[in-house]
């Protein structure tokens, strides 16, 4: 009996250590109304890390913000949206050039989905051999698709030189991508392409443009706390102070 109990306890701890969903997982969670968060996983420094994207359903079809980081989940995401909502994906826009945002652009494009990035993102994607979109946005733009409209906004250099955010003014939904960090994060994450001096000012620009958001979606981690914008600003200001000393 003691041996059986020991085996059960050992199995429990083994399973707990692999509690993070592995690559090959797709999680879809309802946000509000016609809006949903999808999450896929990939390894970063040997650890499974969740990457958030957003999609919403219009009377014309489904719209996706960013593409799955896990390349095995491109088609499962499209299939899940079709099964759940009986709508096909017709539009996708990526918020900066890193793989966790752009990896599926070519795949989606080949299926006839309209794919978009900013012109600056396209230039960086080309220079860094990343996947590229079919259509380019060269300034802040308002898209109206079906019954919804949203704005693209380039607030300045932060996480990357090209990071944009997407803002639903009526619904007060801010999709921040990787510029915005989750409240569970204790640092600004991957700073390889970041501007440490400009980051705080860029987040302030987002706060000024996107007033009183009800939902703030960061690129990674927990998205349920709308204070992630303020949390990111606090970390960016602290980092700027440290680098000025």
Domains and CATH numbers, the chain: 20-244 (3.60.15.10)
Our answer to whether residue 190 is catalytic in this structure is yes
Is 100 a known active-site residue? yes
**CA-to-CA distance for 57 and 26, rounded, in angstroms?**
18
* Active-site pick, 96, 157, 220, 231: 96
Q: Which helix (DSSP H) or strand (DSSP E) does residue 40 occupy?
A: strand 35-44
139 CB-near residues (< 8 Å, 6+ apart): none
In the block, residue with structure tokens 């308002």: 142
Angle between helices 228-244 and 199-209 (to 10 degrees): 150
Q: What is the mean pLDDT of the chain?
A: 91
Digit-coded pLDDT (tens) for 65-76:
999 999 999 999
Q: What is the CA radius of gyration of the chain?
A: 19
**Eight-state DSSP code of residue 71:** G
Torsion of CA 163, 136, 168, 174, to 10 degrees: -20
**pLDDT at residue 10 greater than cutoff 70:** no
Decide if 98 is catalytic. Answer: yes
Query: What CA–CA distance (Å, rounded) separates 52 from 179?
Result: 12
pLDDT digits (tens, 9 = 90+) for 125-171: 999 999 999 999 999 999 999 999 999 999 999 999 999 999 999 99
Residues of the chain with pLDDT > 90, as a percent, come to 84
Phi, psi torsion values for 109, nearest 5 degrees:
-60, -40
Q: Which of 98, 157, 220, 231 is catalytic?
A: 98
List, in order, residues 6 or more apart from 81 with CB less than 8 Å away.
55, 57, 62, 87, 88, 89
The span from the first CA to the last CA of the chain, in angstroms, equals: 62
**Sign of CA pseudo-dihedral 121, 179, 217, 26:** positive
User: Which of 34, 70, 100, 193 does the annotation list as catalytic?
Assistant: 100
Is 231 among the residues known to form the active site? no
Half-sphere exposure of 121 (CA within 13 A, CB side): 33
pLDDT tens for 87-140 read: 999 999 999 999 999 999 999 999 999 999 999 999 999 999 999 999 999 999
Is 159 an active-site residue?
yes
**Selected catalytic residue, list 52, 66, 159, 193:** 159
In whole angstroms, give the CA distance from residue 170 to residue 214: 10
């Amino acid at each position: 009996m003691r041996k059986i109990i020991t085996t059960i306890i050992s199995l429990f701890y083994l399973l707990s250590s692999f509690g993070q969903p592995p690559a090959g997982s797709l999680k879809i969670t309802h946000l509000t109304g016609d809006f949903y968060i999808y999450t896929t996983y990939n390894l970063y420094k040997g650890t499974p890390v969740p990457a958030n994207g957003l999609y919403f359903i219009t009377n014309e079809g489904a719209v996706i913000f960013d593409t799955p980081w896990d390349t095995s989940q491109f088609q499962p995401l499209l299939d899940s949206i079709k099964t759940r909502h009986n709508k096909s994906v017709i539009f996708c826009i990526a918020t900066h050039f890193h793989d966790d945002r752009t990896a599926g652009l070519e795949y989606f494009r080949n299926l006839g989905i309209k794919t978009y990035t900013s012109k600056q993102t396209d230039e960086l994607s080309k220079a860094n051999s990343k996947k590229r979109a079919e259509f380019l946005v060269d300034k802040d733009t308002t898209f109206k698709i079906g019954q919804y409209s949203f704005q693209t906004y380039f607030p300045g250099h932060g996480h990357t030189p090209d990071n944009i955010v997407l803002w639903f003014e009526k619904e007060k939904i801010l999709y921040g991508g990787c510029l915005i960090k989750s409240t569970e994060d204790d640092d600004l994450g991957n700073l390889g392409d970041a501007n440490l001096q400009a980051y705080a000012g860029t987040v302030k620009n987002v706060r000024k443009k996107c007033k009183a958001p009800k939902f703030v979606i960061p690129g990674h981690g927990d998205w349920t706390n709308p204070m992630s914008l303020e949390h990111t600003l606090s970390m960016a200001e602290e980092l700027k102070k440290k680098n000025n000393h």
